[in-house]
Chain A
Amino acid sequence: DAGVIQSPRHEVTEMGQEVTLRCKPISGHNSLFWYRQTMMRGLELLIYFNNNVPIDDSGMPEDRFSAKMPNASFSTLKIQPSEPRDSAVYFCASSPTGSIRNTEAFFGQGTRLTVV
């Protein structure tokens, strides 16, 4: 049974370049979450979707960040233009109900982004 799949696992890019992170949630899950992990700020929620619709994007740091979920099996997180302070591990998670509150979230292995 495949878990949440993220790609790429590692990404190194130059400042100013566009970066796209990808996520395939677990089949049948209808909630999807993007988190960012840094040493300074820990795990922060960036945005989450329910039934492909963005519910709360208040965690998106600035307009350089955007996320889409065109269908139930795919989501992207895009950073354009990227900056060194965007370097972090980005996690995607999915949950089988409409709310993460009463069930656990299943996390992907993360994408380690380094912007030089």
Chain B
Amino acid sequence: AQKVTQAQTEISVVEKEDVTLDCVYETRDTTYYLFWYKQPPSGELVFLIRRNSFDEQNEISGRYSWNFQKSTSSFNFTITASQVVDSAVYFCALSEASGNTPLVFGKGTRLSVIA
């Protein structure tokens, strides 16, 4: 069965610090998809990135970067030079290609960036 673990429940950093949010997943499928979503205080879920299991290239988008390591079943998310607007709950999610469950989410990591 698929499972996503975000061990960090809450993280606080001071503005301009770098922060890494951890995500570890479990799946028996060889084909799967990994996602990160952001949930700001307003409550909506905002898509950030999708990765498929055959693409282990790391990705950078502005201050955001993602490190996908199949060997450790991890898909970590780093925010460089954090800003107060980055304060939100961040969810990692997994979808198996052959499973019946579309998206399974981790419990989320609440990030607070303090000015």
Residues of A within 8 A of B (CB): 31, 33, 42-43, 45, 48, 55-56, 58, 89, 91, 93, 95, 99-110, 112
Contact = CB atoms under 8 A, between A and B. Distances in A.
Given A109-B43, A110-B44, A101 B105 contact: no
A112 B100 CA distance: 27
Which 6 pairs across A and B sit closest by C-beta, in order of nearness? A100-B102, A107-B45, A43-B105, A104-B47, A101-B95, A42-B107
B46 to A, nearest CB: 8
Contacts of B47: 104-106
A43 B44 contact: no
A105 B103 contact: yes
Interface of B: 32-33, 35, 37, 42-47, 50, 52, 91, 95-97, 100-108
Contact of A108 (B33, B35, B44, B96): B44
B22 to A, nearest CB: 16
Contacts of A102: 33, 50, 52, 97
Given A42-B106, A104-B47, 6 more contacts: A31-B102, A43-B105, A56-B100, A58-B100, A107-B44, A108-B44
Given A102-B33, A104-B35, A33 B102 contact: yes
Contacts of A91: 45
A56 B99 CA distance: 11
A43 B107 CA distance: 7
A106 B46 CA distance: 8
Nearest to B33: A101
B44 A101 contact: no
A45 B43 contact: no
Contacts of A100: 95, 102-103
